[in-house]
């Protein structure tokens, strides 16, 4: 194989790569962010697009579907000084792909951090019993805090769901004992009411 043939093969491969990188198909419910020579150029919506080879580059790919993000379990201290382990799921959607790409380095990490911080703050203002009763309040407060903070990043938080609130085993045992005592008390009251009715 002569040197000129090798050069022609390399040139053909180079042209083929350039040709293939010119065409981009963006999937439905996605947006690709194009940079031209390192600077934001445009956003590509779903469909077929042509780029300038070696000048245009797909810098970011944003998914416009609603995303469910697991918020890992963390320890929160209630108002009555009980450590509870709380986790949840955050639902969000990219509304402005350009802001989501350039407004923050990693919006998923950021919203998880804000969720956890807000969760600790909200749980810290409640007594243990209230944390079980007022999940909707906790959820709403977290959604408002994260949504407000993530607005400059082009993110919309639709909802947050607390999955589990787990107190320590000793507290769980005490709660179970208390519930058992309540049930037994109600049974005794019902039985005495029945005896009273039978005597009448």
> How many whole angstroms separate alpha carbon 104 and alpha carbon 41?
18
The domain defined by 67-167 folds into Tetrahydropterin Synthase; Chain A (3.30.479)
Structure confidence at residue 175 as a pLDDT band (50, 70, 90):
low
Whole-number pLDDT of residue 186: 74
> How many whole angstroms separate alpha carbon 39 and alpha carbon 98?
12
Mean pLDDT check: name the lowest of 28-32, 134-138, 180-184. 180-184
Whole-number pLDDT of residue 88: 94
Whole-number pLDDT of residue 173: 62
Q: Which two tokens stand for residue 166?
A: 């787990």
pLDDT at 171 exceeding the cut of 70: no
Is residue 119 within 8 A of residue 76, CB to CB? The reply is: yes
Q: Which sequence spans correspond to the domains of the chain?
A: 3-61, 67-167
Mean pLDDT along residues 33-52: 94
85-97 per-position pLDDT tens digit? 999 999 999 999 9
Q: Which two tokens stand for residue 58?
A: 């797909």
Mean pLDDT along residues 57-83: 93
Is residue 94 within 8 A of residue 60, CB to CB? The reply is: no
> How many whole angstroms separate alpha carbon 160 and alpha carbon 67?
12
> How many whole angstroms separate alpha carbon 88 and alpha carbon 163?
5
Q: How many CB atoms are located within 10 Å of the residue 111 CB?
A: 25
Write down the residue that tokens 């999955």 correspond to: 163
Mean pLDDT along residues 180-200: 69
Write down the residue that tokens 């949840």 correspond to: 88
Mean pLDDT along residues 162-178: 74
Whole-number pLDDT of residue 40: 96
Q: Which two tokens stand for residue 53?
A: 């080879």
CA angle (105, 107, 108) in 5-degree steps? 125
User: Which of these, 104, 85, 83, 197, lies nearest to 150 by C-alpha position?
Assistant: 104
3-21 per-position pLDDT tens digit? 888 888 888 888 777 777 7
Backbone angles phi, psi at 196, to 5 degrees: -60, -45
Whole-number pLDDT of residue 199: 67
């Amino acid at each position: 194989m002569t040197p000129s043939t090798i050069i022609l093969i390399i040139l053909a491969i180079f042209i083929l790569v350039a040709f293939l990188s010119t065409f981009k198909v963006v999937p439905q419910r996605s947006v690709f962010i194009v940079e031209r020579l390192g600077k934001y150029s445009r956003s590509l919506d779903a469909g077929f697009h042509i780029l300038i080879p070696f000048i245009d580059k797909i810098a970011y790919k944003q998914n416009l579907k609603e995303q469910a993000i697991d918020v890992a379990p963390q320890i929160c201290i209630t108002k009555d000084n009980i450590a509870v382990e709380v986790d949840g799921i955050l639902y969000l959607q990219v509304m402005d792909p350009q802001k989501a790409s350039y407004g923050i380095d990693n919006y998923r990490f950021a919203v998880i951090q804000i969720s956890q911080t807000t969760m600790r703050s909200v749980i810290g203002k409640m007594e243990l019993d209230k944390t079980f009763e007022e999940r909707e309040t906790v959820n709403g407060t977290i959604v408002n805090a994260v949504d407000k903070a993530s607005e400059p990043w082009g993110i919309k938080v639709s909802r947050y769901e607390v999955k589990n609130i787990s107190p320590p085993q000793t507290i769980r045992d005490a709660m179970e004992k208390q519930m058992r005592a309540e049930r037994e008390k109600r049974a005794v009251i019902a039985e005495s009411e029945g005896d009273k009715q039978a005597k009448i």
